Homo-oligomer: A and B are copies of this chain.
Amino acid sequence: MNRQELFEQIKKKKSFLCVGLDSDINKIPKHLLDCEDPVFSFNKAIIDATLPYTVAYKPNIAFYESRGSKGWDSLEKTINYLNEKAPEVFTIADAKRGDIGNTSKLYAKAFFENMNFDAITVAPYMGEDSVSPFLEYKSKWVILLALTSNKGASDFQLYRRDVGEALNRLGIRSVLPKRLFERVILTSQQWGYVENMMYVVGATKSDYFIKVRQHAPYHFLLVPGIGAQGGSLEEVAKHGMNNQCGLLVNSSRGIIFASDGADFAEVAAEKAREVKDQMEGLLKEKGLV
């Protein structure tokens, strides 16, 4: 899927919601455990119910991999279902992969060829040759981790403290260099471009959205961290939305596990609609719908 098609979807559904299929078998409704493939049955029901309000789905691969080859079966069935039932939605393998070139090539094969996802999340630590094999696929996307939503994000992604201290000791404040996440965003624009690369920027880091948009004004951003993790959708839209929306905001637990009863899919749909209504308002404010 290309950027224009994604933007068309957003305008059509008046939503930039991505539903995270973090379908932990220990958290899905108990009555589904009698199904042949409980996780796929859960995903199918969630997809059917939330599709009117959703432009993207993002299974986090850990929830499947932790169940071994059975989990892979559930994942393959889920992506096949999405590709058949709703070829217009954007699909993201939240895998956070990245390895030396010949190995990243195999991860690309797994997620882009075998399973036909539109996008994969990739960790930048190993640099260009760990990312470029994913960029060789036409109409597929790399979503590079830039500034994640978790506490540990500050350990390395904000790295420049030693420098700051060294310079402060010298009474110099104005030449502070870029933080690591800024360097990731700037350097990686030499590898890919707005049509095949997005960045992960956590909703919990809204202070940094202005900086992110200075460096990447046109790129789409995948934004986790609203809901359970505490980020604000208004703040994200205020600092992060661009003229093609430029945002996919993810919600996982807040939607898919809103009820664990027989009504789980209906309640998930309600929650997704609430988020979509809020998004519609924000898109209207920006004059995009």
Contact = CB atoms under 8 A, between A and B. Distances in A.
A66 B126 contact: no
Nearest to A160: B163
Interface stretch (A42-50, A84-92, A146-154, A208-216): A146-154
Contacts of A76: 68-69
Q: How many copies does the complex hold?
A: 2
Contacts of A145: 125-126
25 contacts: A60-B103, A62-B110, A65-B106, A65-B107, A68-B114, A69-B69, A69-B72, A69-B73, A69-B76, A98-B123, A123-B125, A123-B126, A124-B155, A125-B148, A127-B150, A127-B154, A127-B157, A128-B151, A129-B151, A129-B152, A156-B183, A156-B187, A160-B163, A163-B163, A180-B180
A36 interface: no
A107 B97 CA distance: 13
Nearest to A172: B170
Contacts of A180: 156, 159, 180
Given A66-B110, A96-B98, 6 more contacts: A66-B107, A69-B70, A72-B72, A127-B156, A159-B183, A162-B183
A178 interface: yes
Given A114-B68, A125-B156, A175 B166 contact: yes
A107 B61 CA distance: 9
Contacts of A172: 170
Contacts of A183: 156, 159, 162
Q: Which of A115, A145, A150, A175 has the largest number of chain B CB atoms within 10 A?
A: A150
Contacts of A125: 123-125, 145, 148, 156-157
A24 B101 CA distance: 14
Given A96-B99, A172-B170, A155 B187 contact: yes
Contacts of A62: 97, 99, 103-104, 106-107, 110
